[in-house]
Amino acid sequence: MKKYLLFASLIALILVSCDSKKDSPLLNEKLNDRNLYEVGKKLSEDALIDLFDLRYYQKGIVNFVLNKDSLKDVTVKNIIDMQKAKEKSIITNELLTASKNLEFNLNLGFKLAKLSPADNTEGQMNVITYQFFNKSGQDINHVKGMVKILDRASNTLIKQFPVDFTDVVPADKGLQKNMPYLHDNSNQRDQIIRNPQALLRFEWHPELVEFADGSKIEVVAPAAN
């Protein structure tokens, strides 16, 4: 019982501390083209301004001044709030992109096995052999994405190849796909991907995995502003 009362008292103390946190009067300070240093110095010395808000202000005031014409009627709090919203948007986009990529990777493995020239009298072709492994536990009947080939040293994009097929990748099994692409020997980038001495890196950018039950994992294009 004593332990319970002690725990409850600690929780109450924390809640009271949070509720009683005061906002700095400096948050309502209006900015102008001659007081930025003075305001910055005051903020850095104000015990009511925590490190997070100080960093938001530091980044936000630079971004604002570089992209806006006037500081008229702009307060310290405006700058902090705008920077918070900007960083939250960036972090949210990164989180959603990473989460979607994890979903793809947890359900479908990918490997670029080889790239082989396949020239004939009708023209020049490159055949790329892809290997897919279904880790989802149910059949996959549609795969779509993009394979990017990059220079390993500079990370420069050399070529990219679309992948789109409806062959079934059986549950807990693999599928090997040979996909042909036109080769233009007069194109320097095409020459590079055939050069056995070139140091290249391959990236798989999945866009759609559709399962036998109709459910999907897919990249949704951002809404137009």
pLDDT, tens digit, for every residue of 89-133? 999 999 999 999 999 999 999 999 999 999 888 889 999 999 999
Rounded Cα distance between 95 and 121, Å, is 49
Compute the average pLDDT of residues 38-59. Answer: 97
Domain 108-218: which topology?
Immunoglobulin-like (2.60.40)
Residue 1: predicted pLDDT: 54
Compute the average pLDDT of residues 57-62. Answer: 96
Q: In sequence order, which ranges of the chain are alpha helices (DSSP H)?
A: 2-19, 36-45, 51-67, 76-107, 188-194
Full-model pTM: 0.74
What are the start and end residues of each CATH 2.60.40 domain in the chain? 108-218
What the block records as the tokens of 156 is: 């420069």
Rg for the chain, CA atoms, rounded: 28
Q: Does residue 34 have a pLDDT over 70? A: yes
Is-contact 54 41, C-beta < 8 A? no
